[in-house]
Amino acid sequence: MTDPAELLSSYDPAVRPPRLSASDVSYVVEDTSIGRMLLARNDTGALVASSFVADDAAEALLLQRLSVRVSPRVLRQPRELDEARRQLEEFLAGRSHGFTLRTDLALASQFQRVVLPRLAATVAYGERTTYGELAAAVDRPRAARAVGAALGANPLCVVLPCHRVVAASGALTGYAGGLAAKRRLLELEASH
Amino acid sequence: MGVSLPAFQTLVDAHWRDVARLAHALAGPVDGDDVAQQAWTQALAAYPSLTSARNLRGWLLTITHRCAMDAHRGRARRAVPHDDVASLPAAAPTAPAADAALADDGLWTLVAELPQRQREAVVLKYVADLDHPTVAAALGTSPAMSRRLVSDALATLRKEMP
């Protein structure tokens, strides 16, 4: 005879996962042509993250940041990101030159809130700038390195185009999604 | 500064099966999914005001237990002809698990026939795999009483099982 405690422990009914409606933060993880990305929006529909998450550990880290900085009510809700996914796909296919998404820099530092909008407003599709030029543009001419760090941690990759910033030598230097992704984005913009 | 809570989705991914198993064990297959769904909705609503990130699994399963008991009472209330809640028996005549055609060795029929508190305790302890302090908190009793309820339940089940 089997012990009742064991039978109860191994109880295995047919179950299905809960269906929750969208809450404070909705996200989706998407395999794009330039890498695995996590897109997230807040409760007003503004995009708060468009970030490369190479693996599960990077994904977990970003979810934790969203939980702390925006709201712990973070749910995987792909449908809520349909418009952002569509625009990203159009952009990566070379069919569009920009985004009409509302963004929110909740995950950004004070300095990033100065640098990233400035970048988006001044460096157009197909153009490039350097860390030094961008530093000068935000009235911090000696802060090229800080600008590099601010762009490296850009929470809204591609949408806020930090890939358009290169070294004074023309070298691509670094990119959150890897240099291959940066090269691909620059080539895409050069040819469309 | 509030506590640093994990993203809610990580709780869903880690525990949805456990929540559903407990909901089905306490409320039966007919109401089980609804109870689990309700538990998740309530947990999501309450989540940002949590003051500790410890034992989140226990917190979720405690909510599930409460939702199952609410469903149970709602069902019992609907079954009585007049709306006199005070006249309800302590346990509904058929415990939810009894209307399940569950494949077992008659175990669930026997579980359903246990006194209500024993039934809840033994399910929380073994189906939900909760420790006695958490079982006790869910039942609003002491860990010593929780141990007693569980061991009485097991003794009955061992005696009655074929």
Tens of pLDDT along chain B (162 residues) come to 568 999 999 999 999 999 999 999 999 988 999 999 999 999 999 999 999 999 999 999 999 999 999 988 887 777 655 444 444 444 443 444 444 444 555 888 999 999 999 999 999 999 999 999 999 999 999 999 999 999 999 999 999 887
Is A85 within the bounds of a domain? yes
Domain region containing A53: 25-92
A123 and A76: one domain?
no
Is A65 within the bounds of a domain? yes
Hey, is the C-beta of A168 within 8 angstroms of any chain B C-beta? Answer: no
Token representation of residue A174:
């670094």
Known catalytic residue at A157: no
Nearest to B161 among A1, A20, A75 (CB): A1
Provide the CATH number for the domain around residue A57: 3.30.160
Q: Do A13 and B47 touch (CB under 8 A)?
A: no
The residues facing A166 across adjacent strands are A130
> For domain B8-160, which CATH number applies: 3.30.565.10, 1.20.140.160, 2.40.50.140, 3.20.20.70?
1.20.140.160
- Determine how many CB atoms are found less than 10 A away from the CB of residue B44: 20
Is A174 within the bounds of a domain? yes
Residue A170 confidence class, pLDDT cut points 50, 70, 90 = confident
Task: Provide mean pLDDT across the span A111-133.
Answer: 96
Closest alpha carbon within chain B to A27? B9
pTM above 0.90, yes or no: no
Last residue of a domain, one of A33, A63, A92: A92
Nearest to A72 among B7, B17, B162 (CB): B7
In the chain, the amino acid numbered A77 is: Q
Helix, strand, coil shares of chain A, percent, nearest 5, are: 40, 15, 45
Is A102 within the bounds of a domain? no
A66 and A122: one domain?
no
Is A7 within the bounds of a domain? no
A77 and A129: one domain?
no
Domains of chain B, residue spans: 8-160
ipTM of the complex, rounded to two decimals: 0.93
β-strands A25-32, A35-41 pairing: antiparallel
A84 and A123: one domain?
no
